[in-house]
A and B are shown apart, each in its own frame.
Chain A
Amino acid sequence: MSYAHPEVLVDTEWLSQNPPNESRKLVEVDYDPVNGYQKGHINGASLIWWKRDINDPVTRDIISKKEFEALMSKNGITADTEVILYGDFNNWFAAFVFWVFKIYGHENLKIMNGGRKKWELENRDYTTDEPQISPSQYIGQPPDEGLRAYLFDVSRGIGKEDTVMVDVRSPAEFSGQITAPPEYPMEHAQRGGHIPDANNIPWATAVNDADGTFKGVEELKQNYEQKGVTPDKDVICYCRIGERSSHSWFVLKYLLGYPKVRNYDGSWTEWGNMIGNPVEK
């Protein structure tokens, strides 16, 4: 059985045979561009830096439609361009950017399965040359808020039979043993634990550990359905800052074809810091 939307994935071999051109743009999305893109990237790829390019610099929010259009223009992307995303940290941030592209209505969008991890395991070439890009004209769509869950949506969903929360963090974060791994000292919360009744299905259970690629349909179905995460539910995914959960959002929405999946990008750094929010350990 194939994925519900196989057109959203390309593999490393396909990309090596089909390099970027005028109508196909390749974009590396990094959390840490100094140790990623700047050390080497796939030939022809431009960079979207998660922190700088996709987040509002002052308010905690994703960029506005106007800022998204400017970002697309800078990367030479038009509304008709085929865009292929890949990145560091098992494509977590590429998936986050995929989610933002979809919020602003970009249609022809794909992820390179396995991201930097698989490309490097296969000893494929990198370059440090940055592509010459002519700015484009980009007109985005109004934001599709149906893809995003806010604090209010999550509070309202607690205790409802037709809503299911998927906490994609590690079991140690879910149980409240830690609020963030020590390598992310800026991403802690005041309280550890999880949103009441959430299911702990770590993002990594959706990927093959060896190369970071997505698991097959049957394995993915088993992974989610046995925990009650079924297509008839309103599914809300969250993690610590909303990037790992966008990876699981991508799996549920595009690989399994669930009709109603939202990413709660406020995630634990919002929920675990709000006064009065209920927390389960």
Chain B
Amino acid sequence: MLLDLPVIEKGSFYFIKDGNTALILEDKTKRGLEIKETSEDETLKVKADKGMIHDMDGIGHWVPIRWYFSKDSYDLSSVLVHANAMEKKYTELRELTCPQDDD
């Protein structure tokens, strides 16, 4: 079970879990989204569980829920590069929608 896997790194918006053969990067903002297919993510070129989110017009868009980085090809530091990029993207989005009051 993915839920039972040990978490080896976490941020505000991600978990990195230790699978048998892969380091699994999970997008926390996609929690609860139904997995509709598992296929290669075109951006990161690794296997990913994908779901679909509908926009205001009702158009469905495929979104990755978690990525499987093979331990043969990736170590934790290389997965963290992607995790930090995701963290930065969501932090910037949060700042746009709910800016922190610095006063």
Instruction: Please report A residues at the B interface, Cβ cutoff 8 Å.
Output: 30-35, 49-52, 181-186
Contacts A182-B30, A182-B33, A183-B33 given; does A34 touch B54 at CB 8 Å: no
Enumerate B23-49 residues with CB–CB distance to A below 8 Å: 30-34
Across chains A and B, the number of contacting residue pairs, with CB separation under 8 Å, is 40
With a CB–CB cut-off of 8 A, which chain A residues contact B32?
181-182
Q: Does B52 contact A (CB under 8 A)?
A: yes
Q: Does B64 contact A (CB under 8 A)?
A: no
Q: Does B59 contact A (CB under 8 A)?
A: yes
With a CB–CB cut-off of 8 A, which chain A residues contact B58?
30-32, 49-51
Interface size class of B (residues with CB under 8 A): 10 to 19
Give the complex CA separation of A31 and B60 in angstroms.
Answer: 9
In the complex, which of the residues A32, A51, A181, A185 contacts B60, with contact meaning CB atoms closer than 8 Å?
A32
Give the complex CA separation of A34 and B52 in angstroms.
Answer: 13
Q: Does B72 contact A (CB under 8 A)?
A: no
Q: Tell me the nearest residue of chain A to B65, going by C-beta.
A: A182
Majority SS of interface residues in chain B? loop
What's the nearest-Cβ distance from chain B to residue A111, in Å?
20
Interface centre among B34, B51, B53, B57 (most CB of A within 10 A): B57
Enumerate B48-78 residues with CB–CB distance to A below 8 Å: 51-60
What's the nearest-Cβ distance from chain A to residue B21, in Å?
28
Instruction: Please report B residues at the A interface, Cβ cutoff 8 Å.
Output: 30-34, 51-60
In the complex, which of the residues B53, B56, B59 contacts A34, with contact meaning CB atoms closer than 8 Å?
B59
Give the complex CA separation of A186 and B54 in angstroms.
Answer: 8
Give the complex CA separation of A31 and B55 in angstroms.
Answer: 11
Majority SS of interface residues in chain A? loop
In the complex, which of the residues B33, B51, B54, B56 contacts A32, with contact meaning CB atoms closer than 8 Å?
B54
With a CB–CB cut-off of 8 A, which chain B residues contact A181?
32, 34
Given contacts A182-B33, A183-B51, 15 further A-B contacts (CB under 8 A): A34-B60, A35-B52, A49-B58, A51-B56, A51-B57, A51-B58, A181-B32, A182-B30, A182-B31, A182-B32, A182-B51, A183-B52, A183-B60, A184-B54, A186-B56
Q: Tell me the nearest residue of chain B to A184, going by C-beta.
A: B54
Contacts A32-B60, A34-B60, A35-B60 given; does A186 touch B33 at CB 8 Å: no
With a CB–CB cut-off of 8 A, which chain B residues contact A35?
52, 59-60
With a CB–CB cut-off of 8 A, which chain A residues contact B52?
35, 183
What's the nearest-Cβ distance from chain B to residue A86, in Å?
17
Give the complex CA separation of A50 and B31 in angstroms.
Answer: 28
Contacts A183-B51, A184-B54, A186-B54 given; does A32 touch B59 at CB 8 Å: yes
With a CB–CB cut-off of 8 A, which chain B residues contact A184?
54
With a CB–CB cut-off of 8 A, which chain B residues contact A34?
59-60
With a CB–CB cut-off of 8 A, which chain A residues contact B34?
181, 183
What's the nearest-Cβ distance from chain B to residue A108, in Å?
28
User: Are A186 and B55 touching (Cβ within 8 A)?
Assistant: yes
